[in-house]
Amino acid sequence: MASTALNIIEGALRNLGVLTMGASASTEQQTEGVDLLNLMIDQFRNESLMCPWVVQESFALTSGDGEYSIGPGGDWNTIRPISLENSCFVRVSNVDYPITLINQAQYNSLPDKSVAGSFPQYLYYEPVFPLGVIKLWPLPGSGNTLYISSLKNLVTVAGVG
């Protein structure tokens, strides 16, 4: 069962003896619970206690485009990754091809960054702020979908749902 903010809040209230089993939190308790949950997440960040989670996402690639910004408002509008996991791949016509993650020195050593191919074989992630940058080589062909698994920080909770 997936935990929602409401599950966490009502569970905490039951553990404290404020709610009985089967009882629901009032609107005021829910609102205060969300505020306290967000405060706890903010305190974890302030104390460098990262609360990371791994998520797999997919992104359509544009033929001939090998560089994408990733993060809120970027080319790929999602939570900015802390880092990428070694389980990235490209799907072309329902066939998956693994991608090798490389570091900056390896990316810099690629002789011609404008080489096009059927699908990318290498991926370099530059975790700069405010948006990260993903660089692919060779440049993707048409019909490519990139799947990445990334480590991300928890974000604040918008509501109890």
Neighbours of 109 (CB within 10 A): 9
With 90 as the cut, is the pLDDT of residue 145 above it? Answer: yes
Please give the pLDDT value at position 123.
98
At residue 5, does pLDDT exceed 70?
Answer: yes
Is residue 108 over pLDDT 60? yes
Q: Is the pLDDT of residue 50 over 80?
A: no
Non-local CB neighbours of 63 within 8 Å, separated by 6+ positions: 139, 140, 141, 142, 144
144 neighbors 119 (Cβ within 8 angstroms): yes
Tell me the backbone φ, ψ of residue 110, rounded to 5 degrees: -65, 125
Decide: helix, strand or coil at residue 74: coil
68: which strand partners?
134
User: Could you report the per-residue pLDDT of 63-79, keeping only the tens digit for each?
Assistant: 999 999 999 999 999 99
Residue in the block written with tokens 């070694």 = 86
Confidence band of 141 (pLDDT split at 50, 70, 90): very high
Residues whose CB falls within 8 Å of the CB of residue 49, separated by 6 or more in sequence, listed in order:
43
pTM: 0.72
Indicate if the alpha-carbon torsion angle 63, 124, 68, 154 is positive or negative.
positive
3-state secondary structure of 60: strand
Give the confidence band of 45 by pLDDT, cuts at 50, 70, 90: low
Question: Confidence band (pLDDT; 50, 70, 90) for 61?
Answer: very high
**What Å distances lie between residue 18 and 40, 59, 102, 126, CA to CA?**
20, 45, 52, 47
Give phi and psi for 89, each to the nearest 5.
Answer: -155, 165
Do residues 139 and 114 lie in contact, with contact meaning Cβ atoms separated by under 8 Å? yes
Rounded Cα gap, residues 137 and 119, in angstroms: 8
Query: What is the model's pLDDT at position 11?
Result: 86
